[in-house]
Amino acid sequence: MKLLPGHVSPETAYLVDDYPYGFRLRCQIRYWVEFNPKRGFRYWSQTSNPKRPGLVWNKPKASTYYRFGGALVLNDEDQVRFVGLSEYSSAAEAKAFKDQYGPAVPEAGQAILTKWVAAKQAYEAARKDGDPLSVGLAEARQALSED
């Protein structure tokens, strides 16, 4: 697995030159990660149209948002994949995501990723089995507000 950092717009997208288009045609495809401070991270892909002369891009396709982290990776089969971190992760999952994929998260979203991992860890550290869900919220809020 290889991280693909820095692909944050169509202009800086990760480009694959030989991608299938239907059964017989080949095209180009580009991938990038968008960060919106209010919504989070999402993955975009866009293919070229080999049926038109020159390089003409089709309409881009977007994934759903992941609130706290998102990164592009190249798997062992040389396929581009998107990994995301949502609010439903545990503290251990959030920490593992940051450790493994953190360098590939867009620069603009690094702060929210760091704060989210700290908040999840503070929340789970303040809780015991059987505690109501409200236990640990004060600690999580404090971790989110710290710089």
**Domain positions in the chain:** 2-145
Give the pLDDT confidence score for residue 147 in this predicted structure: 62
- b/e sequence 48-66, b meaning 16+ C-beta within 10 Å: bebeeeeeeeeeeeeeebb
Q: Which two tokens stand for residue 50?
A: 């080999």
pTM equals 0.86
pLDDT, tens digit, 9 for 90 and up, residues 35-78 = 999 999 999 999 999 999 999 999 999 999 999 999 999 999 99
